[in-house]
Every structure is written in C-alpha cells, then in structure tokens.
Amino acid sequence: MKILLTGAAGFIGTHIGRIARERGHEVVALDMFLDKAHGPGERPPGFEQLDLRSARLDDVLDGIDVVCHQAAMVGNGVDAQDLPDYAEHNDAGTARLLAAMARRGVDRLVLASSMVVYGDGRYTCPEHGDVPPAQRREDDLSVGRYDPRCPVCGGDITWRRISEDTPFLPRTSYAASKIAQEHYASAWCTLEGSRAVALRYHNVYGPGMPADTPYAGVAAIFRSAIARGEAPRVFEDGAQVRDFVHVHDIARANVLAVEQVADHEPGLTPYNIASGTTFTIGQMASTLAAAAGGQQPVLTGDYRAFDVRHVVASPEAAKAGLGFEAEIRPEEGLAALATDPLRTR
C-alpha cells in the first residue's frame, strides 16, 4: 500500500513511518518542518518539505492509496490570540488536503485527533447521573478543592470513562482545531462517499518526544527537570487522572487503521487510543523520578482554572473496530522514559 504520511518527521510520525515500512508499505514522507517544532537548520533526508496549503499538494497525491494525516500545530493554545494560528495551520491545512484528495480520487484517510476534543472528562453525580463538569471556581481552587462540581446541584461528582459518543467541549485553541479537523473530514466523507478513521490520542509519551519545544508534554517536562537535578513540580495535588499511552502503541494503531480503513463504512469513525490503565500525574512524576534516581516530585498547589482535572477513555471501541490493544503498560513505559532519548529539535 502506498501511504502519504503528513507530519512524518514529528514525534509520532517518525514511529508510524518506521512501523509502516516494516509491514511492507511504501511511505511518502511529508513535513512542513515548522520552526516551532523542528527549529531552523538542515533537514534530514528522506522527507519532502511541503506546506499543506501549497498548490503542489496535488502532485504528491498521485498514486497514493491512503493518507495518514499527522501534521498539526500542537500545544495547549491557551491564549485567545493563538486562535488564528491554529485555524490557519490545522484547519485550513486539513481542508486543503481533503480538497486535493477529492481531486486526485484518494478516498481513505486516517486522521490524528486527540482526547482534547472532550475537554474535561465526564462525571457522575449521585443525584443527577452522568453530567459534564461545571467550570471550576476560583473560591474552590484557592482552598485546594480541585475536583469540579455537578453543574446542576453543585455537589460532588466522580469521574467516569468516556466513550467516542461523548459530546465535544473544547477548552483551548488546539482542541477547537482538532474538532474542526474531524468535522471537515466528516463532511469530506459525506461529499465524496469516502472513509475516514479519527484516532483520538490520549497522553502520548516515549522515545523521541520533544524535550524543549512548545510541543513538549508534561512527561518530557518532568523528565527534563529530573535530568537537571531538580524535583518535578506537579500542579494541584497530583491526583489528576490520565491515560498515558506509549508512542509505539500510537503508531501501531495508526498502521492498523491505515490497513483497515477501507473495510469501514463510508463516513468518519472515531476511536479513543489509550492504554486502558489509569495513572495520576503525581504517579507519573514519581515513576519517572524513581527510575532516574532523582528527587521525588513536589506538589505545588499551583493551578489554572482551565486545566482538565480528569479525562480517561474506554479503549473498547478500538479493540473491537481495529483489533488494537496497547502492548506497553504505563508503569513500564514511563520508567523507561527516564532514560529514553528525547528530541531537542
């Protein structure tokens, strides 16, 4: 199969390309080499440098069987002034890619989406059942009450696993752009009778993750602190619940989706891609510190009202629809991250 892989030089893209080639696929590797992600300088061989908004996109789609679309401007995007950049890169780029695919008759897409489309997770109130969380209040946060309240009665609620039919509640520019990408892909499927799979990644980590770019995740930030001889600084009380999924498993999920998207019904099918194992931010920091022989994390009590408190997904749909199950458990993968090489640019 001939695959066009966008964002091929990125953290996740490089792992997808490797596994796809190992499974006998031909990969056309495309990357814009955005300075924020890669920095300036000489580009590695084997990649075509191309902005998805370029008219040359039609040419690289010739003979392509399926597109695996990883290219995106990532990060939190927590300032309203970030909105235009995310819309221009992620949404306009995806829209132009889909239009070019339609012109070239390429009717299969695997799209990198994210858990951020859900915003905070979903919760259960003893009185009102399953509810979205109310916005966290400054008077609660200032006294160390970090869990959100029921939006109806203001009472205590407990987190639950979310499935793919959970409504979208974006909290950042990045989240809004990911939702828009899914909507553009869904519209493209309807207009062209095409098939798409959207993979909603949970917290990705592993070798090659960015260490000192705006794209660095919390695991890389903690790892870098430990390497400097500092204790990881954990916001709130460290009890924020996440699902950490290794980049090897993310890449495997993409290749499985590439190989099976043609078997799906026309339209867009979303899957949560997660390990299925819950871990708190505090546990993650402690695991890294212990494996590296560093200082144990410090709970700072610092907070940002817009931060997600808990978000955990059910992996069952991906198991049923793609045959995907994570191979690397977080306690093993996170311990290995203590010595895994990171990408500085």
- Burial code (b: 16+ CB inside 10 Å, e: under 16) for 210-246 equals bbebebbbbbbebbbbbeeeeebebbbbbebbbbbbb
3-state SS, residue 264: coil
Structure letter (DSSP) for residue 149: B
Q: Are 169 and 191 found together in one domain?
A: yes
Of the three residues 134, 161, 188, the one that is the final residue of a domain is 161
- Indicate whether 345 belongs to any domain: no
Helices 247-260 and 11-22 pack at an angle, to 10 degrees, of 60
Q: How many domains, in total, are found in the chain? A: 2
Question: Is 344 contained in some domain?
Answer: no
> Is residue 142 domain-shared with residue 60, that is, in the same domain?
no
d(CA 247, CA 193): 31
Residue 152 lies inside a defined structural domain of this protein:
yes
Give the pLDDT of residue 50.
Answer: 84
Residues 11 and 112 in one domain: yes
Q: How far apart are CA 291 and CA 284, in angstroms?
A: 11
91 and 155 together in one domain? no
Check residue 42 and give its pLDDT: 59
Q: What angle do CA 246, 248, 250 make, to 5 degrees?
A: 75
What is the structure's pLDDT at 41?
Answer: 56
Q: Is residue 296 part of a domain?
A: yes
Judge contact between 135 and 123, C-beta under 8 A.
Answer: no
Return the pLDDT at 247: 97
Q: Which residues contact 59 (CB under 8 A, 6 or more apart)?
A: none
Distance of alpha carbon 217 from alpha carbon 174, whole angstroms: 14
Q: Which ranges of the chain does DSSP label H, i.e. alpha helix?
A: 11-22, 35-38, 57-60, 83-86, 93-104, 138-141, 173-192, 218-227, 247-260, 281-292, 316-322, 330-337
My answer on whether 64 and 167 are in the same domain is: yes
Please give the pLDDT value at position 51.
82
170 part of a folded domain: yes
CATH number of the CATH domain containing 261: 3.40.50.720
Query: Are 41 and 80 in the same domain?
Result: yes
Check whether residue 44 and residue 175 sit in a common domain: yes
Question: Same domain for 100 and 224?
Answer: yes
Domain containing 306: what range? 2-121+162-338
* Same domain flag for 289 and 325: yes
Q: Phi then psi for 102, rounded to 5 degrees?
A: -65, -40
Residue ending a domain, among 130, 161, 192, is 161
Instruction: Provide the pLDDT for residue 198.
Output: 98
What pLDDT score was predicted for residue 311?
Answer: 95
pLDDT at 163: 96
Predicted local distance difference test score (pLDDT) of residue 88: 87
Within this chain, do residues 260 and 156 fall inside the same structural domain, yes or no?
no
343 in a domain, yes or no? no
Assess contact for 238 and 281: CB atoms under 8 A.
Answer: yes
Q: Is the residue at 246 inside a domain? A: yes
Mark which of 112, 135, 161 sits at the end of a domain.
161
Same domain? 41 vs 97: yes
Is 88 a member of any domain?
A: yes
Question: Splitting the chain (345 residues) into consecutive groups of 10 residues, what average pLDDT does each group show?
Answer: 96 97 97 66 73 83 97 76 87 95 97 95 96 95 97 97 94 93 98 98 92 68 89 96 96 98 98 95 94 94 92 96 96 91 75
Same domain, 153 and 279: no
